[in-house]
Amino acid sequence: MRYRRGEYVADRRPEILAALRKDCGFVSAQGLHTSMKQKGIHIGRTAVYRALSAADAEGRLESVHACSGAKAYRYLLPVHENHLGCRVCGVGTAFFCQVLEDRVAQLGSRHGFEAARAL
């Protein structure tokens, strides 16, 4: 998408987060900005910093401090976790199972639920 100088764009966060998702690893705001520019996406560095900061505050990103001191970000996929717990000792563990999620969605729609999930 190309924008002319001075043209106001209300919210570039979806575009910035999509670029971060495609990188699939930790990347700094400067690195993401450079990557987007190389792909022909004209965006200001400040917009990238603000979008990453806001998404990090919302818990949508994982962040670490690189050796250089810069903060690096990675997109967190929204995954629903199920939990198994032992009735005897109380130990529990989280897991994700796409087959279970698909089956719950099928059962939910069959029984009139729009958005069903295993608890």
With 60 as the cut, is the pLDDT of residue 7 above it?
A: no
For residue 92, give both structure tokens.
Answer: 């529990």
pLDDT tens readout for residues 30-84: 999 999 999 999 899 999 999 999 999 988 888 888 777 888 898 887 666 677 8
What mean pLDDT comes out for the span 3-8?
A: 56
Tell whether pTM > 0.85.
no
Task: Give pLDDT, residue 39.
Answer: 92
Task: Give pLDDT, residue 87.
Answer: 80
